[in-house]
Structure 1
Amino acid sequence: MPVSGDLIVRVAARGEGISADGRHVAFAAPGDRLLPDNSVVPGPHHQAPPCRHFPACGGCQLQHLDEESYALFVRDRVLGALSTQNLATEVRPALVSPPRTRRRATLHAERRGRQVLLGFTETGSHRIVDMTECHVLLPELFALVAPLRMLLAAMLGERRADVHLAQTDRGVDVLITGALGDKLAELEALTGFAERHGLARLSVDDGYGPETRWEPEPATISFAGVPVALQPGAFLQATREGEAALVAGVKDAVGSAPIVADLFAGLGTFSLALAERAKVYAGEAAREPILALKAAASRAGRPVFAEHRDLYRRPLAPAELDRFAAVVIDPPRAGAREQAAAIAASKVPVVAYVSCNPSSFARDVKTMCESGYRLDWVQPVGQFRWSTHVELVARLTR
């Protein structure tokens, strides 16, 4: 028998369902019905959340959506951002990373008596959800949660600490930021923990920068088969699947361009892949990543010219950009207003724009389109499964 009530038609950018008459309803999926008493009758796209910590844990906001509706949410986030700038183009179906594939995460730790809470914080709160299961982390990362909780129980003071986890070529890299003890017994406990659990590296940052306590061999992360030195806490794409989707999108956009600029290059996610068939200029403001990329490209014989350059204070000028057959740009969440304006004033024939923020992406692309570029397509990517965080790669041509 059909259920009466107002139909939930889509999911908003912050994750709440929106009814046909415009009401916002938390934890509602497309196809749900909103009854007069504001209760929700689940529809065909409303699944039982797999994790006991949902919805308290801030690591996920959308576990109640099934595969189809979550992929549509990721795509709709891009369509919505484009519409605010009066932009329209082909938006491809979203590529979503599977469960338990997140290879980097930051957990928070806090002492409660003799015990330590360790996990993500609640949405909109500093309260820590003590993690006992997780459906987004790689199993290798989650396997360390309980041992880390015991380790921190023996040495964490009254202040909070953050635990940064990342899967590297050689195992898990752990960086603990916060005030830990420096007694000999505690130092030995850290190295013993790292050795027992086969860590690639264990570092501690008490406010003066990361200090490595265990690293039997240099920790690396490989891009296009090239190992690059990984600094503690360095940025990585969240999943290997998401990284592969973005790299494939960039290659598709750039095509056979013989000389390419990779702006905000980081450790070389795109530079090293493109250097398999093109000469690449890589610009990056963070010193350690760009030096690591330079050294790795040199060892591998990849044609990458790496420059330490702040692209916010000193973006590539139009005359510099005109030397390239294509430009890849992958800025932080704020976008790259100044660099986008310089690209708009250039003659670069192809631009591949990678973004982790559809709103700043649409703003920057609007600037380029007003100067003669055409937005050919956008590929949405959902690396942060069941979250509202969306990434993308797009192609613009003159």
Structure 2
Amino acid sequence: MSKETILRIAAKGDGVTESGRHVSGAVTGDTVRDDGTIIPGPHHVEAPCRHFGTCGGCQLQQADETALRQFVTERVAFAAEAQELELGELLPTHLSPPRTRRRATLHALKAGKGAVIGFREARSNRVVDMRECHILAPELFALVAPLRGLIANHSGRQPIDISLTLADQGVDCQLKGFTAEGLAATEALLDFARDRGLARLALDQGYGAETLWEPEPVTITLGSIPVGLPQNSFLQPTRDGEQVLVSDTGEFLGEARTVADLFAGLGTFAFALADPAKVLAVEAARDAHLACKAAANMRGVPVHAMHRDLFRNPLTADEVSRFGAIVLDPPRAGAREQVAQIAQSTVSRVAYVSCNPSSWARDAKTLVDAGFRLEKLRPVGQFRWSTHVELTSYFTR
């Protein structure tokens, strides 16, 4: 029986052989028989979590640190190569450590006299009843068992989504689909929030999140500035990953004195770059925009917040040209319309942070065709053991 060697891990997590065959569960260095049997190689390890293989939260726990780093690096490098982009310097890949994820959405359902809570199975709506987790921050995982009891005793039979975020004051918890009927259920929720020291507890019963418990305004510190944390706001998934993205951006833009932070969100980059730089923070989500604006005004930081949809109404080339540098951190779809305007502008320095190598590469090609050079590129794996990859990049002309 013949065998093939796995050369790399593909974008969806399958191992790829010399002949191009895709093998689920295989990693770089494994060998595969014709019948699909995987012979583990030097980079194939035992998954640390008992739920791996069932839980859809992780796809690559069988890959050691070397194989995981290679996967993240190649996802980004191959995207650049696909657009024939010349690269000045590939910076070392950053991988977030285990148990550092500070935000996650879990799913729960009442089952018999108990409840199940966890991530869903891959390609299924079935919930894996989480008994351990090697990606969640300990503060988040500590709530899983108490939440299981709360749902078992006080919820109906409808599915529940549980959004958890580690904020400055503790854990921000939102329950979507949990119907608090009667005084006993309401008191149980308040007791739960108080006893567990939650920063905030909110219910979404189909009409948007309503706060039940928030002893003091919930914030997230960005740079050195506490910024109000609206419900369902975007936040980088790990603190260490955020630090790498922010540090790279600051180093890329160096001495720029005027910066436009586009798709700014709450101000992750704006507050880190402000003072000495003056920063325009442009964001379409109204709650995030207002939180950024309020924090800047309260602290007297040179950040001017602008509410604007950059997909429908990008900054024009003339507007972009007024700045010394540009920061981009768009959603997964990328920033096609905005990048087209940057390409037509006179700006010469762009830091582009992306959570999708494919859309980034498309936009990068537009910049390069307009005379920019891709100076630096760093792959980032904040979603450890998953196929989700991020990056930082720096363009000059």
Q: What range describes the TM-score normalised by the shorter chain of this pair? A: over 0.9
Q: What does the per-residue CA deviation read over 1:184-213, in whole Å, with 9 as the maximum and x for residues that have no partner?
A: 211111111000000000000111111000
Q: What does the per-residue CA deviation read over 1:74-124, in whole Å, with 9 as the maximum and x for residues that have no partner?
A: 010001211222223132221000000000000011222222111001111
**AA matched with 1:358:** P
Q: Is the 8 A contact 2:111 2:152 kept in 1?
A: no
Aligned to 1:51: 49
Aligned to 1:24: 22
Aligned to 1:73: 71
Paired-residue identity, %? 56
Write the mapping of 1:99-248 to structure 2, written as runs, cut at 5 A: 99-248=98-247
Q: Helix, strand or coil: the match of 1:173?
A: strand
RMSD between superposed Cα atoms in Å:
1.2
- 1:4 shift after superposition: 7.8
Distance 1:236 1:98 in 2: 18
Structure 2 unaligned regions, length at least 5: none
Write the mapping of 1:316-335 to structure 2, written as runs, cut at 5 A: 316-335=315-334
Q: Is the 8 A contact 2:2 2:34 kept in 1?
A: no
Q: Helix, strand or coil: the match of 1:154?
A: helix
**AA matched with 2:183:** L
Q: What does the per-residue CA deviation read over 1:282-320, in whole Å, with 9 as the maximum and x for residues that have no partner?
A: 000011111111111122221000011111111000000
Number of residue equivalences: 396
Q: State TM-score, norm by structure 1.
A: 0.97
Distance 1:19 1:68 in 2: 18
Q: Helix, strand or coil: the match of 2:292?
A: helix
Distance 1:353 1:12 in 2: 24
Aligned to 1:37: 35
Distance 1:199 1:251 in 2: 33
- 1:183 shift after superposition: 1.5
Q: What does the per-residue CA deviation read over 1:106-152, in whole Å, with 9 as the maximum and x for residues that have no partner?
A: 00112222221110011111111110000000000000001001111
Distance 2:189 2:178 in 1: 14
Q: Is the 8 A contact 1:75 1:92 kept in 2?
A: no
Aligned to 1:258: 257
Aligned to 2:351: 352
**Corresponding position: 1:305 with 2:290:** no
Distance 1:277 1:6 in 2: 56
Distance 1:121 1:132 in 2: 13
Structure 1 unaligned regions, length at least 5: none
Q: Helix, strand or coil: the match of 1:282?
A: strand
Q: Is the 8 A contact 1:75 1:91 kept in 2?
A: no
Aligned to 2:276: 277
- 1:156 shift after superposition: 2.2
Q: Helix, strand or coil: the match of 1:228?
A: strand
Q: What does the per-residue CA deviation read over 1:4-55, in whole Å, with 9 as the maximum and x for residues that have no partner?
A: 8311110000000011121111111111111233211111111110000001
Q: Is the 8 A contact 1:351 1:395 kept in 2?
A: yes
Distance 1:118 1:91 in 2: 40
